[in-house]
C-alpha cells in the first residue's frame, strides 16, 4: 500500500518525538528513582540507628516495651515494620506486634555474623534496614552487640510519585508531539509538500507531452526547491527543443526514406523484413523475407553470412519483383551489430538495374551494329565501284547487240548478275543505314502476296501458309524490295523452327501505338496509326535468354554452316530505317510471333506519274575519279549521248585540268572517296577557281552514308548519283545538274 509523502513525513517526525520523549522520561524517572532510593537508604539508616539507641536503653533497663521511645519513628507512614532482636536474633518487640515472629533477612544475619556495620537489603515493595544495638559498660570495656534493630520502609509513595511523574511526562509529550506534528505538517505542507506536488504535476504534464508553465507555489517555496523548479523548467525546455529537432530530423529521414528511388529495408537476424519503404513495396509487394526476393546464384542465407563476414555486401543478382516480374538488382547489405558483437539485424537497399542493363544491352547491340555497318559500308562502297564498270559495260554491249547475236546472251547474263549484285549492295547499305531508301506509296498487302508467291517454292509442303490480310488497309511509304526481304527472312526462320511441319500465319491490320514502342513512338500527325505486319509460327519457340540477343549481328542458334546470324539483324535494321519498330512474343514449344509496326503515310497515293526524260545533251564534262574503269565507262556512256568527256585520275589532276579549261567545262562529275585529296577538298578548290562551277557528286556510298555529301549539296553542289549507275540514271542526273543555275557559253 502506497503512503503519501506527507503521511510518511508526519509518521517519521512523530516517531522521533515519541522516541525522544520516551528516552527523556526514562532518564528523568531513573535519575529521580535513584535519588529517592538514596534518600530512603539515608533515612532508613538514620531511623534504624535511632531505633537502636532507643532499644539500647530499654534493654539496659529491662524494659520490654522497647519501641515506646521510638513511637514517633514507627508511626511514620512509610515504616511498615519495626522490630528488635536479641544478639542471637530472637525477636524481643515488634510493630506491628503481629509480625513479631517474622525472621530477619538471611543476608542480614550473614552480614552481622562477620561485620557490625549497619546493613540494608531491598525487599518486595520496600527496603529492609538493620542496625546493631551496642553497649559499653565502662570506658575501659569495648562495645559489644547486645541486639539488633530492624526497620522496613515502604516504596509505595515513591512508586506513586514516579507514576505521577510518568503520567505528567506522557501528557506533556503527547501535547508536544501533537503540536509538533500539526506545526511541522503545516510547515512541510507549505514549504515542501505543496512545491513537490506542484513539481510532480509539472513532471506529469511534461510526461504527457505538455510544456509546464511557471507555478506561483514553486516561486514561494524554499530556495532549493525554487532553484530545482527553475532547473527543471530549463531541462524541460532543452528536452522539448531537442525533441522538436529529433522529430524534425525523423520527419526528414522518414521523408527521404519514402521518397528515395531505391528500395530501402531492414531485416532481423533471420533475414525477415521488419521495415521497408514504399519503393520496396512497389518493387516487391508484401514479401516477408529476403529469401522471397532473391532467385539468382546466391541464396539469401549466404548473403547474410557474407555480409556478417565482410561487414557489408554488394552484389548484382536477379530477383522476383511484384507480380512475379523478373528484375536485375544491385543489392547492398550491412549488418547491425550490438556492443557484444552479436548481429541484431541488417540494413540494406536495392537499386533496380533492369532498365539500365537493358539500355546497356541495346547500346552494345547498337555498337555492334555500328561496327558491322562500318565494315559492310566500306565493302559495299568498293563493291559498287566494281559493279559500276561491269553493269555499265554490260549495258553498252547490250545496246550494241540484238537478240540472237553471239554476245547478246553473255552480256544479258552479265547485266542481270550485275543488277542483282547492285541490289545486294543496296541491301548491305540499307542494313547499315548507309543507303537512301527508294520509298514510294504502296499497299502492304501486295508486298505480302508477292512474298508469299516466292515462299511457296521454298517452304516445305508440311508447313501451311495462311494469310489474313485486312481489306482497305491504308497506304504506307516504303521500299517494296526491302519489306519483301523482311517477310522472307522471318518466314525462313519460322520454317527452321518447324522441322516437323506446322502453321505459318502472315497477318496485316491497323493499330495505334502499342506496348513496346521505343520512346513511346506515336504515329505522325494526321496519320491513321500504324500498319501491323504479324508473322507467327507454331514452332519450338525462343527462350528468354535468346530473345535478348536475337537481333544481334552474327548471333545464331543454328549449326555451323546453316546460318550467319544476319537475318533478324537485317530485319531489325530495315524496319528501323522505315521509322517503325518490331516486337517479339514467344514461349518455348508454343511458337513465336513477330509484330512489325510501320507508320501510315498521311495523304499518300499509290499512283505515280512516270516521267520520260531525253538524256542526250552536249558540252564538255570533266570526270574526276581514281578508278580507271569508272572513268572509261563514263566516257563510253556519255560520248554517244553527245557530250565531250575529259577525265582525271586524281583530285589534284582534276583541279589542274579545270583551272586550264574552266570556261569550257559545263559540269564536273566528282568522286567523293579518293586518295591524297578527297572529294570535299577538290570541291573547295574548284569553287575557289570558279564560284559558279557545277559539280555532280558521285560515290559508292549513299547520300546518307557519307557525311560530307549533304554538306557539299548545301554548299552548292548540283546533285548526287550513287554507284553503280546505268546510262539512263547518269544521263538524267546530268540533265538535272545542267539545268541548275546559269549556263556557260560553249567555246
For the chain, which domains are there?
A: 5-154 (3.30.450.20), 260-352 (3.30.450.20), 359-428 (1.10.287.130), 444-599 (3.30.565.10), 619-738 (3.40.50.2300)
Please say if the pLDDT value at position 434 is more than 60. Answer: no
**pLDDT over threshold 60, residue 571:** yes
pLDDT for res 526: 44
Contact, 506 vs 528, CB < 8 A?
A: no
Q: If pLDDT is split at 50, 70 and 90, which confidence band does 610 have?
A: very low
The DSSP result for 139-205, as a single string, is TTSPPEEEEEEEEEEE-HHHHHHHHHHHHHHHHHHHHHHHHHHHHHHHHHIIIIIHHHHHHHHHHHH
Range of 233-247, 362-376, 652-666, 692-706 with top mean pLDDT = 652-666
Nearest to 313 by CA among 329, 328, 325: 329
DSSP state of 587: E
> 430 and 732 in contact (C-beta within 8 Å)?
no
Peptide bond into 724 cis (omega under 30): yes
pLDDT at 532: 92
Q: How confident is the model at residue 561 (pLDDT cuts 50, 70, 90)?
A: very low
Per-residue pLDDT, 548: 72
Sign of the C-alpha dihedral computed for residues 397, 400, 402 and 404 taken in this order: negative
User: Mean pLDDT throughout 2-6?
Assistant: 65
List CB contacts of 37: < 8 A, sequence separation 6 or more.
127, 158
Q: Which residues contact 496 (CB under 8 A, 6 or more apart)?
A: 539, 558, 563
Q: Is the dihedral of CA 85, 90, 96, 99 positive or negative?
A: positive
Q: What pLDDT does residue 554 have? A: 60
Q: What pLDDT is stored for residue 644 in this prediction?
A: 92
| pLDDT for the residue 88 | 86
DSSP 97: G
What percent of the chain shows pLDDT beyond 90? 9
d(CA 500, CA 185): 110
- Alpha helix positions (H), 614-738: 628-638, 651-661, 679-689, 707-715, 727-738
pLDDT band at 431 (very low <50, low <70, confident <90, very high): low
- The full length of the chain comes to 747
What pLDDT does 461 receive?
85
CA angle 196, 202, 208 (to 5 degrees): 140
Q: What average pLDDT does the structure give for the chain?
A: 78
Residue 659: the pLDDT is 92
CA distances from 44 to 76, 101, 150, 325, 490 (A): 11, 21, 9, 121, 149
Tell me what pLDDT residue 565 has.
Answer: 55
- Cβ neighbours of residue 208 closer than 8 Å, sequence gap 6 or more: none
Give 420's pLDDT tier (boundaries 50, 70, 90).
confident
The pLDDT value recorded for residue 667 is 93
Quote the longest CA-to-CA distance of the chain.
214
Q: For 719-743, how does the pLDDT look when each residue is reduced to its tens digit (9 = 90+)?
A: 888 888 888 888 889 988 888 765 5
At 506, the pLDDT band (50, 70, 90 cuts) reads very high
Interatomic CA distance for residues 288 and 290, integer angstroms: 7
Task: For 241-260, write each residue's pLDDT tens digit.
Answer: 787 788 777 777 777 667 67
Strand partners, 348: 265, 333
Nearest to 191 by CA among 214, 220, 213, 216: 220
At residue 689 the predicted structure's pLDDT band, cuts being 50, 70 and 90, is very high
Q: What is the distance between the alpha carbons of residues 154 and 151, in angstroms, rounded to a whole number? A: 10
Alpha helices per DSSP H over 260-353: 278-284, 300-310
Out of 173-182, 217-226, 583-592, pick the least confident.
217-226
Spatial separation of the C-alpha atoms in residues 102 and 91, rounded to whole Å: 8
Q: Is 527 helix (H, G, I), strand (E, B) or coil?
A: coil
531 with 486: CB under 8 angstroms?
no
Q: Is 344's pLDDT higher than 50?
A: yes
3-state helix, strand and coil shares in percent for the chain, rounded to the nearest 5? 50, 20, 30
How does residue 307 score in pLDDT terms, banded at 50, 70 and 90?
low
What pLDDT score was predicted for residue 200? 66
Q: What is the pLDDT of residue 304?
A: 67
Alpha helices per DSSP H over 555-644: 567-577, 628-638
State the CB neighbour count (10 A cutoff) for residue 132: 22
Cα angle 651, 656, 659 (rounded to 5 degrees) comes to 125
**Residue, of 736 and 569, whose pLDDT is higher:** 736
pLDDT in tens, 510-547: 887 554 444 445 554 444 578 999 999 988 888 777 77
Q: Is 580 helix (H, G, I), strand (E, B) or coil?
A: coil
What values do phi and psi take at 643, rounded to 5? -95, 155
Is the predicted pLDDT of residue 588 greater than 50, yes or no?
A: yes
| All three cell numbers of 518 | 521505343
Residues 6+ apart with CB under 8 A from 90: none
Higher-confidence position of 221 and 387: 387
The rounded distance, in Å, linking the Cα atoms of 21 and 409 is 152
pLDDT at 594 over 80: yes
Listed ranges 53-67, 124-138, 190-204, 237-251; the one with the highest mean pLDDT: 124-138
Tell which residue, 225, 243, 321, has the closest CA to residue 281.
321
β-pair type (79-86, 91-95): antiparallel
Q: Kindly provide the residue ranges of all beta strands, DSSP E only, lying in 235-362, ordered along the sequence.
A: 263-268, 273-276, 313-320, 326-337, 343-352
| Mean pLDDT, residues 644-649 | 92
What's the pTM value of the predicted model, to 2 decimals?
Answer: 0.42
Question: Across the beta sheet with 119-123, what order do the strands follow?
Answer: 91-95, 79-86, 144-154, 126-135, 119-123
CB 647 within 8 A of CB 621: no
Amino acid at each position: 500500500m502506497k503512503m503519501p509523502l506527507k503521511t510518511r513525513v508526519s509518521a517519521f517526525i512523530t516517531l522521533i518525538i515519541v522516541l525522544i520523549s520516551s528516552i527523556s522520561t526514562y532518564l528523568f524517572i531513573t535519575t529521580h528513582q535513584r535519588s529517592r532510593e538514596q534518600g530512603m537508604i539515608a533515612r532508613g539508616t538514620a531511623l534504624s540507628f535511632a531505633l537502636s539507641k532507643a532499644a539500647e536503653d530499654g534493654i539496659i533497663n529491662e524494659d520490654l516495651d522497647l519501641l515506646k521511645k521510638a513511637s514517633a519513628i514507627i508511626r511514620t507512614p512509610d515504616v511498615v515494620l519495626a522490630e528488635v532482636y536479641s544478639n542471637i536474633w530472637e525477636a524481643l518487640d515488634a510493630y506491628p506486634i503481629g509480625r513479631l515472629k517474622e525472621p530477619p533477612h538471611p543476608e542480614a544475619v550473614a552480614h552481622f555474623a562477620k561485620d557490625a556495620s549497619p546493613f540494608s537489603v531491598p525487599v518486595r515493595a520496600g527496603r529492609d534496614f538493620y542496625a546493631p544495638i551496642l553497649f559499653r559498660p565502662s570506658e575501659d570495656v569495648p562495645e559489644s552487640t547486645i541486639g539488633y534493630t530492624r526497620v522496613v520502609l515502604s516504596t509505595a509513595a515513591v512508586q506513586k510519585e514516579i507514576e505521577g511523574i510518568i503520567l505528567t511526562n506522557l501528557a506533556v509529550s503527547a501535547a508536544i508531539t501533537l503540536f509538533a506534528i500539526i506545526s511541522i505538517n503545516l510547515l512541510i505542507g507549505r514549504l515542501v509538500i505543496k512545491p513537490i506536488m506542484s513539481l510532480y504535476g509539472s513532471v506529469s504534464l511534461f510526461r504527457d507531452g505538455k510544456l509546464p508553465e511557471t507555478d506561483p507555489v514553486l516561486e514561494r517555496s524554499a530556495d532549493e526547491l525554487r532553484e530545482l523548479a527553475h532547473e527543471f523548467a530549463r531541462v524541460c525546455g532543452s528536452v522539448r527543443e531537442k525533441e522538436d529537432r529529433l522529430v524534425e530530423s525523423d520527419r526528414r529521414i522518414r521523408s527521404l526514406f519514402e521518397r528515395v528511388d531505391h528500395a530501402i529495408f531492414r531485416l532481423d537476424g533471420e533475414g525477415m523484413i521488419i521495415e521497408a519503404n514504399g519503393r520496396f513495396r512497389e518493387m516487391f509487394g508484401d514479401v516477408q523475407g529476403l529469401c522471397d526476393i532473391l532467385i539468382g546464384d546466391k541464396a539469401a542465407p549466404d548473403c547474410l553470412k557474407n555480409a556478417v563476414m565482410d561487414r557489408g555486401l554488394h552484389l548484382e543478382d536477379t530477383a522476383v519483383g511484384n507480380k512475379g516480374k523478373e528484375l536485375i538488382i544491385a543489392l547492398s547489405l550491412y549488418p547491425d551489430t550490438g556492443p557484444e558483437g552479436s548481429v541484431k539485424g541488417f540494413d540494406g537497399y536495392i537499386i533496380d538495374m533492369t532498365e539500365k542493363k537493358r539500355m546497356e544491352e541495346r547500346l552494345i547491340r547498337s555498337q555492334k551494329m555500328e561496327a558491322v555497318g562500318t565494315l559492310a559500308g566500306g565493302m559495299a562502297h568498293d563493291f559498287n565501284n566494281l559493279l559500276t564498270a561491269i553493269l555499265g559495260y554490260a549495258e553498252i554491249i547490250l545496246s550494241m547487240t540484238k537478240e540472237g547475236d553471239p554476245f547478246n546472251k553473255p552480256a544479258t547474263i552479265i547485266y542481270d548478275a550485275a543488277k542483282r549484285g547492285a541490289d545486294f549492295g543496296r541491301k548491305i547499305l540499307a542494313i547499315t543505314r548507309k543507303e537512301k531508301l527508294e520509298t514510294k506509296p504502296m499497299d502492304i498487302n501486295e508486298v505480302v502476296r508477292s512474298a508469299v508467291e516466292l515462299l511457296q517454292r521454298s517452304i516445305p509442303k508440311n508447313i501451311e501458309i495462311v494469310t489474313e490480310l485486312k481489306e482497305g488497309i491504308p497506304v504506307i511509304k516504303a521500299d517494296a524490295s526491302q519489306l519483301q526481304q523482311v517477310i522472307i527472312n522471318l518466314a525462313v526462320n519460322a520454317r527452321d523452327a518447324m522441322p516437323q511441319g506446322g502453321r505459318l500465319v502472315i497477318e496485316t491490320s491497323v493499330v495505334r501505338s502499342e506496348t513496346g514502342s521505343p520512346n513511346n513512338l506515336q504515329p505522325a500527325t494526321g496519320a491513321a496509326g500504324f500498319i501491323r505486319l504479324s508473322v507467327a509460327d507454331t514452332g519450338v519457340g525462343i527462350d528468354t535468354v535468346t530473345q535478348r540477343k536475337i537481333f544481334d549481328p552474327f548471333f545464331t542458334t543454328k549449326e555451323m554452316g546453316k546460318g550467319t546470324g544476319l537475318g533478324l539483324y537485317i530485319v531489325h535494321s530495315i524496319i528501323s530505317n522505315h521509322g517503325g519498330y518490331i516486337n517479339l512474343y514467344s514461349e518455348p514449344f508454343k511458337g513465336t510471333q513477330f509484330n512489325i509496326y510501320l507508320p501510315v503515310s498521311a495523304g499518300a497515293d499509290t499512283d505515280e506519274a512516270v516521267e520520260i526524260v531525253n538524256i542526250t545533251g552536249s558540252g564538255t564534262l570533266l570526270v574526276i575519279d581514281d578508278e580507271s574503269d569508272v572513268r572509261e565507262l563514263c566516257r563510253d556512256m556519255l560520248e554517244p549521248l553527245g557530250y565531250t568527256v575529259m577525265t582525271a585520275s586524281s583530285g589534284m589532276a582534276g583541279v589542274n585540268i579545270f583551272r586550264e579549261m574552266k570556261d569550257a567545262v559545263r559540269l564536273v562529275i566528282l568522286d567523293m572517296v579518293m586518295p591524297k585529296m578527297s572529294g570535299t577538298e577538290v570541291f573547295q578548290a574548284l569553287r575557289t577557281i570558279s564560284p559558279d562551277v557545277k559539280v555532280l557528286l558521285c560515290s559508292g556510298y549513299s547520300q546518307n552514308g557519307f557525311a560530307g555529301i549533304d554538306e557539299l549539296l548545301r554548299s552548292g553542289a548540283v546533285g548526287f548519283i550513287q554507284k553503280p549507275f546505268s546510262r539512263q540514271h547518269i544521263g538524267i542526273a546530268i540533265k538535272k545538274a545542267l539545268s541548275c543555275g546559269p549556263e556557260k557559253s560553249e567555246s
